């Protein structure tokens, strides 16, 4: 075999060899093969180009170039990016187990993971991690990604942390043994009233089904009789997770979703009939950022007239990607088929191959055209008309899931001043400083969420400090009315943030959702609509 032929074989292996996925794949590499042109080009550049080149980068750029001409969701990620993308869906990562934020160039622990490595050795909320294995990370303007890299590591490895704690003069040192740290996809689960439970799913990961069912069991003990399933801002995840969750609500044999593509034949996913929630009234909350697996669940529940969808039209991500693992840990996610709801609606919104900019502007265009604020601005062609499978109600394809009850985006709820304060991180920074100074006192005064919810009032000096810092940045209210509305919004937001910092996201949403129009309309839907 010549050197040139060896390089051709090597390149082929780099590009398309993935034994687990392509064991049956064969290549016809003739003199007229388009793939051969690519090989010759790579070999020629690598061997004869005037300057030195990075061969691996050449191959990566070629792969990216091909994928960019396809649909908006086919993509390539290098080994590092692939690992980072997979961690949230896999349900855990390996590290020291702390939630943290950066205050004045210092890492401040917001909450240690319950029974996690850091909590076990005595690290508490409010601690400042100053050194990691004798490397100073405070006051050196280190990138957040670099700090995370130093804290994370393989399970069982040790890391030495130097900690500053309020009230303690000397530096404290802790030897922490890294471990598996769970990443939860159920953000919140609580009772809105005596019979209505609320569960919010952040994404559909490997452990989401188990987390959801555990949350449901806990809510049943508190009187759960009807469920609000919040899928707002849920960008999706694993198909298998969505199918298992939809199965809980449907009868045996009910179609959940099917996929079909040019080379991939039709594949159907149906309910088994063993669901524990088949008789429970359910309302699903969606918005313009609800996508993919979240749209599968929403579409299945709507098409079978199993529940009510409340909110705004979903994102419209209905393309199925097959992950292709490459030998160096990188990955191609290649679109192979479309998702279809049980009534035959294609979830994917329209797109033009290779034109990602227009696709990425879709949500902004929806806002400009009034779709997010007025249902009359949404128009569907008759050719997209479908019917639900039980009650034969009219629903439409053409991209995303249109809700049964439309809730407009309230563009007036937050003032221009409030949005600017948020964009400049002035609100979150003041919250973190407030917690850093008052955490111990707040914990002592409010031992549980109930006492906090009933008794805590956001100090006026906190909102005034935020407004004053805003003015220093040139962020000023247009008039007294805007100032008053901004302070009112800040008061709700800050109380929710303090609750999050004292407990977790569950408590945050219990406060935040009280001013949510979609949540309110979702609860009202139980009384106004029959299931």
Residues recognised as catalytic: 292, 303, 317
Q: Exposed, middle or buried: residue 305 (CB in 10 Å: 0-12, 13-18, 19+)? A: middle
Residue 153 to residue 132: CA distance in whole angstroms: 12
Q: If DSSP codes are grouped into helix, strand and coil, which group holds residue 307?
A: coil
Q: Are 327 and 17 in contact (CB under 8 A)?
A: yes
Q: Which 8-state DSSP code applies to residue 9?
A: H
- Dihedral sign of CA atoms 460, 465, 470, 474 in order: positive
Structure tokens at 322: 């097959």
Specify the DSSP element, H or E, that contains 511: helix 505-512
DSSP-H helix ranges across 176-276 = 208-220, 239-247
Structure tokens at 511: 């406060």
177-197 burial code (b ≥16 CB/10 A, e <16): ebbebebbbbbbbbebeeebb
Residue 149 to residue 492: CA distance in whole angstroms: 34
Among candidate residues 441, 439, 442, 426, the one with its CA nearest the CA of residue 490:
426
Which residues make beta-bridge pairs with 94?
A: 180
Residue 335 to residue 318: CA distance in whole angstroms: 10
Residue 406 to residue 374: CA distance in whole angstroms: 9
Residue 472 to residue 355: CA distance in whole angstroms: 41
Among candidate residues 474, 435, 526, the one with its CA nearest the CA of residue 197:
526
Measured CA distances, 420 to 417, 481, 497 (Å)? 5, 17, 18
Q: If DSSP codes are grouped into helix, strand and coil, which group holds residue 270?
A: strand
């Amino acid at each position: 075999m010549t050197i040139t032929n060896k390089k051709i074989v090597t390149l082929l292996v780099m590009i398309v060899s993935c034994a687990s996925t392509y064991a049956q794949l064969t290549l016809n590499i003739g003199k007229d093969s388009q793939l051969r042109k690519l090989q010759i080009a790579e070999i020629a550049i690598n061997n004869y180009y005037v300057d030195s080149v990075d061969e691996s980068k050449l191959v990566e750029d070629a792969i990216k170039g091909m994928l960019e001409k396809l649909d908006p969701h086919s993509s390539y990620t290098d080994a590092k990016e692939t690992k980072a993308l997979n961690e949230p869906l896999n349900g855990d990562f390996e590290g020291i187990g702390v939630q943290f934020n950066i205050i004045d160039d210092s890492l401040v622990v917001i909450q240690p993971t319950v029974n996690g490595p850091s909590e076990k050795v005595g690290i508490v909320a409010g601690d400042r991690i100053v050194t990691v294995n004798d490397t100073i990370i405070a006051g050196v303007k280190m990138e957040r990604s670099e700090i995370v890299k130093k804290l994370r590591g393989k399970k069982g490895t040790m890391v030495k942390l130097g900690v500053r704690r309020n009230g303690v003069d000397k530096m404290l040192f802790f030897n922490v043994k890294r471990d598996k740290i769970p990443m939860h996809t159920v953000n919140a689960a609580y009772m809105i009233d005596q019979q209505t439970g609320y569960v919010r799913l952040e994404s559909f990961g490997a452990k989401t089904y188990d987390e959801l069912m555990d949350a449901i069991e806990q809510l049943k003990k508190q009187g759960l009789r009807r469920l609000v399933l919040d899928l707002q801002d849920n960008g999706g995840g694993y198909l298998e997770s969505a199918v298992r969750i939809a199965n809980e609500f449907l009868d045996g044999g009910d179609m959940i979703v099917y996929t079909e593509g040019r080379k991939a034949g039709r594949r159907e996913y149906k309910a088994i009939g063993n669901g524990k929630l088949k008789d429970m009234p359910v309302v699903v909350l969606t918005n313009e950022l609800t996508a993919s697996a979240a749209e599968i669940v929403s579409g299945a529940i709507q098409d079978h007239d199993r529940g009510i969808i409340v909110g705004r039209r979903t994102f419209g991500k209905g393309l199925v990607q097959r992950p292709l693992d490459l030998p160096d840990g990188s990955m191609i996610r290649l679109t192979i088929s479309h998702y279809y709801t049980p009534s035959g609606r294609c979830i994917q919104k329209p797109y033009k191959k290779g034109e990602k900019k227009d696709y990425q502007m879709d949500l902004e265009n929806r806002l400009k055209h009034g779709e997010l604020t007025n249902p009359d601005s949404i128009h569907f062609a008759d050719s997209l008309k479908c019917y639900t499978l039980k009650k034969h109600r009219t629903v439409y394809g053409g991209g995303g899931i249109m809700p049964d009850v439309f809730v407009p985006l309230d563009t007036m709820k937050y003032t221009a001043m409030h949005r600017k304060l948020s964009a400049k991180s002035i609100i979150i920074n003041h919250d973190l400083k407030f917690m850093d100074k008052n955490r111990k006192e707040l914990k002592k005064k409010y031992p549980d969420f109930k006492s906090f919810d009933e008794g805590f009032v956001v100090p006026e000096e906190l909102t005034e400090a935020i407004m004053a810092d805003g003015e220093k940045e040139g962020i000023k209210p247009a008039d007294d009315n805007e100032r008053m509305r901004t302070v009112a919004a800040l008061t709700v937001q800050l109380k929710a943030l303090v609750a999050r910092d004292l407990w977790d996201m569950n408590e945050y949403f219990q406060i935040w959702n009280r001013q949510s129009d979609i949540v309110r309309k979702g609860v009202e839907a139980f009384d106004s609509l029959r299931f």
